[in-house]
Structure 1
């Protein structure tokens, strides 16, 4: 009788130990900041409502504004608003293999484009930068379609502008219904300039755009 009771107690202790070990393994695997798909980490957003969508567009939603990186085919959710040297950005971080980087959207320069073909949709363009460990700060213009009823934002296209440029102004080239273009003014580096120096060449670019993408 005593021997049988001891066996049951031992089996119970072994079972409890297995449950504790399994819980620890589960917590380790599913609380990391990165989720791995085919051994490649991708950006992950937390399950709280998007602060960026609430602050910029007044949407109480779990949907994130995601920026698709052209080279990596990776969607990076914008997680917070930050200020750098008086400039305001919506920021998200990513990891791809050994590469870690930051996406910064220059949201005060959001430019709404007068493509009003579908109700409850708004198409807009905005500059964003991608920076990682030492390979520069690459600036793009992103083209997005937002459902103004539900707060969904889809990226339509992106266009590379330059490395370590300083954007001064972006607006529609009026009359937009005739030009269908964006006018972008920025400083870029001259041929003799080091990339470590501040860009000094005043540059203006007119970018043709359609509801389905940039004309490249």
Structure 2
């Protein structure tokens, strides 16, 4: 892959020390190109959550190297001073639950992050509306979260994850509460948005409904990853 969305090399995470130490990640390697959506699959306790938290700059890896876009963010230690700004500006998050702010309307839920990053309010709202239009929920722009269906809430959450145009989106079980039709619609949207905005997307999932959609899959077990080609059905 010529361009880099996210690249991880020899990433390790150790909890504790001495005889009680647990190596949750063991020299993990992963690469996702801009515009690509890959699946991350593994049983409970395999290291998925630790890997996602490391990629999201929520916990400190013990060793290794991580690159987002053209910036090395970790190389046996953090290379950026403000991890909160890193999470805000470089990493988009999509969760199993939308976690929309109940007292803000749809537009302001999406526009809040660029506002916090210093963008003018009108420009942030214009960018939010652009994304809501791309995700076909612009007609709900002034609605409150409680007025949205579950599928509409997840679309708004995807818009929020994309609004600062991060090089990577981490999606943690984004289809778990959805039926087959809505789950596949969410994954199609993530694929469409990844290609449109050249964002690298990692989807952590147990959802057998969506696993056949991935062209590449990383399995993780006992802190070790290995890659296989996926079926990639239906998103060409």
The reply to whether TM is greater than 0.5 is no
TM-score by length of 1: 0.22
> Comparing both chains, which one has the higher relative contact order based on Cα–Cα distances under 8 Å and sequence gaps of 6 or more?
2
TM-score, normalised via structure 2 length? 0.21
Task: Report which of the two has the higher share of strand.
Answer: 1
